[in-house]
Amino acid sequence: MANDVEENPGPTIYDVVDPTKTIYADFSQGNTKKFRQNAGKQCLAMSLTAIIYNHITNANAWDSTVLNSILCAGNNLYSFISNSVKKSYLLLTDVPEMVSVFDGIYCMQYGEPFAGDLFMANTALPYYSIENALNNLFMENYQHCMLTIGCNTVAIFKTSEGTFKVFDSHSRDLYGRFTGNVYYNKVEYSLNKIQ
């Protein structure tokens, strides 16, 4: 019996991420030449900036130039918030209710946060499985959220077509895996389990 092992690796990243729907900026948040002392710490501010920019121009129309602008504006927002709260790494609770980006002032309204574990199959309150957290969030008619895993934050957009876009300012390859190259992702994919 010990040698009778059945393997079921499940879906791979290649089954989830369509590289033809991935676009890149010319740099990532970790670019020390561009962002200097801020490099590698601005993912929350950049994700928030992407959510705000989606209200200006739908993410379906974004290209590399737009992503470059979002990353630069997000870095500026990070500098402002970081200097205000005197912290290098930001939490969502550090973000003021009103922020100024892209020559506009935007009022932020946040829902209650969900906490959980990526590997939870079921919700065990007060902790949620990622599937249940996202289902609850989007059933409450939210169109965006920020997902923080460890110390990395990404923005998730729900589209009118029922798909989701992920904005990630970290350095990634064509399939969304961490890489040392200076790439950036906006990935579109469909999550079948989220209703």
The 10s digit of each residue's pLDDT in 176-185 is 666 654 444 4
List, for residues 26-69, the tens digit of each pLDDT value: 888 888 899 999 998 999 999 999 999 998 998 888 898 999 99
Torsion sign over Cα 73, 166, 89, 55 = positive
> Given a cut of 50, is residue 187 above it in pLDDT?
no
Stretch 152-165: mean pLDDT: 83
List, for residues 65-89, the tens digit of each pLDDT value: 999 999 999 999 999 999 999 999 9
Rounded to whole angstroms, the Cα distance separating 170 from 183 reads 8
pTM: 0.81
- Classify domain 22-111+142-187 at the CATH class level: alpha beta
Give strand pairing partners of 101.
104
Cα torsion through 51, 55, 60, 65, rounded to 10: -70
The HSE-up count of residue 136 (CA atoms within 13 Å, CB side) is 13
Of the candidates 113, 119, 120, the residue with the CA atom closest to the CA atom of residue 148:
113
> Helices (H) and strands (E) in the chain — how many of each?
5, 8
The tokens of 62 are what? 């974004």
